[in-house]
Each structure stands twice: as C-alpha cells, then as structure tokens.
Structure 1
Amino acid sequence: MKLRIRHDTTYRYRNPVELETHRLMLMPRNSHDLRILSNSVRIAPHAEVEWTQDVFGNLVASAHFSERTSQLCISTDILVEQHAPAWPVFRIAPVAHSYPFRYSDEEIADLGAHMKTHYPDDGGKFDQWVQGFVYGTGTDTLSLLKDVNTGIGDAIAYRVRDEAGTQAPLETLSLGSGSCRDMAALFIDAVRHLGFGARAVSGYLYDPDQPASDPGSTHAWAEVYLPSAGWIAFDPTHRRVGSANLIAVAAGRCNKQIMPVAGGFIGAAEDFIDMDVRVSVASA
C-alpha cells in the first residue's frame, strides 16, 4: 500500500521575530514494513538544515534561520510504501509466552530507561490500577498487553487537546479523557509498572474512512518489546495492535523527546498569534 503524507505547520507572529533553531522530526523511519519512496521538506523563510540521528536512531533536521519573519511555514510531502499485515502473528520467544517472565540480562541492559516508569505514583494508586489487569500467574503475555490496551481505550474518552505537554497517567484516569499522546503515555507507564520495556512513538495514522476534506493530525501510540517478536505497536486510542495503517516517524523514551516540531523565537510573548497544523494521509 502506497501512502502520500502531506504535513504543513504554520506559525504566525504580530511582528517580525528572530527564530531560534527548530528541531524537526518529520521523516518516517524505514523498517521491514515501511519504506520511504520519496520525500521533500520546504521551509520558509529560508533555513540552513542539518540532518543528524538522535540516540534512538531517529532522523532529526535542525533548521537554522538568519532573517526575522512574521510567519514560519514548514511543509513536507512524503511518499511511503507500507505493508504491515492487518492481522499480524507475533513470534514471541517461548520464555516470554506467559507473564511474568524475565528479559535476558542483555535485553535488560539495552532496554534501560525504557523499563523505568516516567511519572511518580505517590501512594501506589496507579500501580494498584495496573495490577487489576493481571488475573494471576501464567497469564498469556500478549493477552495481558491487549487487555491493558483495550482497557485504556474503554476507560478514556479521546479528545483533541491543543495544550502543550502530556498529562500524567493519574490525571488522565481522573479526567477520564485525553489526547492520543496522553493515552499512549498512560499505556507506556502501565506496562512499565508490569515490568515491560516500552517506548513512545509519534507519526501518522492512515484512516481510509476519513473524508478527503478532513484536515488530519499527527498521531501517537506505544510499542512494547517482546523477545524474538521485537517492538510491537499498541494504539490504545483505537484499541489496535500491530503497525497496520501506522506510519512511525520517531520513537523515544517519552513523548517530549519525539515532538514533530520544536523551537522558539526571540521577541515579546504577545507577538505569537497562533499555530496551524494540517495533515493529510491518503492512498497514492
């Protein structure tokens, strides 16, 4: 399946401002089930762009500006080929078929911070909620992860949230609602409480049922590492498992590390007017 992704981000200012270096994570990750066929990045005003890879292997563009401006436009046009199966079969190592299991020493060393919870849990309230998904020893590992994924989708109502940052898991549970990044963060800390290695993923979702006029959006989900099977995608927002229709751009320990566009400006706070993001993901 070939998909064309168009992503336009526009910042507007009342007066010309000096733009600081912007960090862009907009290029999908090549993998066994996703291949980039073509790509272009356009930035106005002109920027000197340096491409690097971060500690997680994500492709990062650093845009350096030399002129003041009252508008910043960042646009990408990317063609990818995605062939992840809709009903994947995960070849999990026998040692990890049943929960609880123990990662090998090498896996524990490599997973590192991906196994450590990111948010405080004063009083153990969150851990108590998480343990409610474990019905006993010898629970099927993949079934347990699916239960957590579905349980979050059932308990949390999705809502568009334009505020910056990510809600803490207990806040999301208390509110009963959150954005896709809030639900992904809730899932990640939940499975880390259970001893799994997990990471945050940002990218795009292809939804063939959306009308062409829909402005679209970026998407956030999670991945869990299981021996032999590797990193498996879990999308609690849509109660889905596997990478079908997901186009991963960046992966990291937490959402803050994988923002599509990050950068500031030098000027008065009131100079900032608004930011507009438009995304389309369509069959090509």
Structure 2
Amino acid sequence: MKLRIEHSTTYRYACPVALQPHRLMLFPRQSHDLNVLATSLRCTPEPRLDWAQDVFGNVVATASFADQSDTLTIAVEMTVEQCAPAWPVFQIAPGAHSYPFTYSDEDVMDLGGLLTPQHPDENGALARWARGFIYGVPTDTLSLLKDINSGIIGAVAYRTRDEEGTQSPLETLAEASGSCRDIAALFIDAVRHLGFGARAVSGYLFDPDVPEGDVGSTHAWAEVYLPSAGWIAFDPTHGKVGSAELVPTAVGRCNGQIMPVTGGYTGGPADFVGMDVRVSVTQV
C-alpha cells in the first residue's frame, strides 16, 4: 500500500518576532515493513537546517532562522510504501510465551528506562489496575497485552485535546477520556508496571474508512518489546495490534521526547496569535 502524507504547521504572530531554533521529527522511520520512497521539507522563512540522529535513531532536523517574521510555516510531503500485514503472526521466543517471564540480562541493560514507569503511581493504583487484567498465572503473554490494549477502550473515551503535554495515566483513568497520546501513555505505564519494556511512538495513521477529503491527524501509539519478536505495535486508541496502516516517525521513552515540532520565539505572550495544523494521509 502506497501512502502520500502531507503535514503543515503554521504559526502566526501579531508582529515580526525572532524565531528560536525549531526541532523537527517529521520523517518516517524506514523498516522491513515501511519503505520511504520520497520526502521533502519546506520552511518559510527559509532556515539553516542541521540534521542528526538522536539516541533512539530518530531523524531530527533543527531549523535555525536568521530573520524575524510574523509567520512560520513548516511543511513536509512524504510518499511511503506500507506493507505490514493486517493480521500479523509474531515469532515470540518460547521462554516468553507465558507471563510472567524474565528478560535476559542483556535485554534488561539495553531496555533501561523503557522498563520504568514514567509517572508517579499514587498508592499503587495504576499497578493494581494493570494487574486486574491478569486472570491467572501463568497466562499467555500476547493475550495479556492484547487484553490491556483493548480493555483501555472500555475505561477511556477518545477525545481531541488541544492542550500541550500528556495527561498522567491516573488523570486519564480519572477523567475517563484522553487524546491518543494520553491513551498511549496509560498503556505504556500500565505494561511497564507488569515488567514489560515499552516505548512511545508518534507518526501517522491511515484510516481507509475516513471519507475522501477529510483531514487526517498525527497519531500516537505504543510498542512493547518481546524477545525474538522484537518491537510490537499496540494502538490502544483503536484497540489494534501490529503496524498495519501506521507510519511511525519517532520513538522514545515518553511522548515529550517525540513531538513532531518543538520550538519557540523571543517576545511576549500576546505576540502569539495562533497555530494551524493540517495533515492528510491518502492512498496513491
């Protein structure tokens, strides 16, 4: 399946302001089931671009601006080929088929902070909630993860949330609602409390059921590491497992590390007028 992705962000200011460097994580992560065919980046005003890879291997562009401006537009266009199967079969190591299992010493060392919950868990409430999905010991590892992934839908309703940042998992459970990044953060900390290595993912979702012409959006989900199978995608917002219809751009320990565009300006709060984000993901 070949997909075309268009993503533009426009910032508007009341007067020309000095633009601070902006960190861009917008380009797809090529893998065995995602082939990046073409990419382009356009910024107005034109910046100096410095390219690097972060500790997770994400492609990061830093845009530095010499001139002041009352608008900033960052636009990318990408064409990718997504070939992940809709019904994947995961080759999990025999020793990890049943939960609980123990990661090897090497895996524990490499996973590091991806094993540690990010948010405080007052009185162990989140850990108890996660353990509620364990109906017996031992139990099937993949079935347990799928139960948590689909069970979140029954506890949390999706809602668009324009505020910056990510809710804590306990806030998401208390509110019984959250954005895709909030729902992904809940899943990640829940499975970390059960001893799994998990990481946050940002990118795009292709939804074939959306009518042609509707705008798309960026998306957030999670991945869990299982021996031999590697990183398995879990999208708790939609209750799906596997990478089909997902286009990852960045992975990290938490959502705050993988925001598509981060940056600022020199000036007062009243100088900022607004921001427009447009995303389109279409099959070609």
So what's the TM-score if we normalise by structure 2? 0.99
Matched, 1:193 2:193: yes
Question: What is the CA–CA distance in structure 1 between the aligned matches of 2:165 and 2:79, rounded to whole Å?
Answer: 29
Question: What is the CA–CA distance in structure 2 between the aligned matches of 1:50 and 1:96, rounded to whole Å?
Answer: 42
Aligned-partner residue type, residue 188 of structure 1: I
1:163-209 CA-to-partner distances (Å, cap 9, x unmatched) read: 00000000000000000000000000000000000000000000111
Question: What is the CA–CA distance in structure 1 between the aligned matches of 2:153 and 2:110, rounded to whole Å?
Answer: 30
Aligned-partner residue type, residue 133 of structure 1: F
Aligned-partner residue type, residue 171 of structure 2: E
Other-structure match for 1:66: 66
Question: What is the CA–CA distance in structure 2 between the aligned matches of 1:215 and 1:19, rounded to whole Å?
Answer: 28
Q: After superposition, where does 1:126-165 map in structure 2 within 5 Å?
A: 126-165=126-165
Other-structure match for 2:205: 205
The secondary structure found in structure 2 opposite 1:280 is strand
So what's the TM-score if we normalise by structure 1? 0.99
Other-structure match for 2:43: 43
Question: What is the CA–CA distance in structure 1 between the aligned matches of 2:279 and 2:237, rounded to whole Å?
Answer: 18
Other-structure match for 1:283: 283
The secondary structure found in structure 1 opposite 2:148 is helix
Question: What is the CA–CA distance in structure 2 between the aligned matches of 1:22 and 1:215, rounded to whole Å?
Answer: 25
Question: What is the CA–CA distance in structure 2 between the aligned matches of 1:40 and 1:208, rounded to whole Å?
Answer: 24
Q: How many residues align?
A: 284
Matched, 1:270 2:266: no
Provide the identity percentage.
65
Other-structure match for 2:26: 26
Aligned-pair CA distance for 1:215: 1.7
Aligned-pair CA distance for 1:213: 2.2
Aligned-partner residue type, residue 111 of structure 2: L
The secondary structure found in structure 2 opposite 1:282 is strand
Question: What is the CA–CA distance in structure 2 between the aligned matches of 1:110 and 1:162, rounded to whole Å?
Answer: 34
Question: What is the CA–CA distance in structure 2 between the aligned matches of 1:153 and 1:70, rounded to whole Å?
Answer: 42
The runs of 5 or more residues in structure 1 that have no matched partner are: none
Aligned-pair CA distance for 1:127: 1.0
Question: What is the CA–CA distance in structure 1 between the aligned matches of 2:232 and 2:252, rounded to whole Å?
Answer: 14
Question: What is the CA–CA distance in structure 1 between the aligned matches of 2:86 and 2:15, rounded to whole Å?
Answer: 49
The secondary structure found in structure 1 opposite 2:147 is helix
Aligned-partner residue type, residue 64 of structure 1: S
Aligned-partner residue type, residue 267 of structure 1: G
The secondary structure found in structure 1 opposite 2:90 is coil
Other-structure match for 1:79: 79
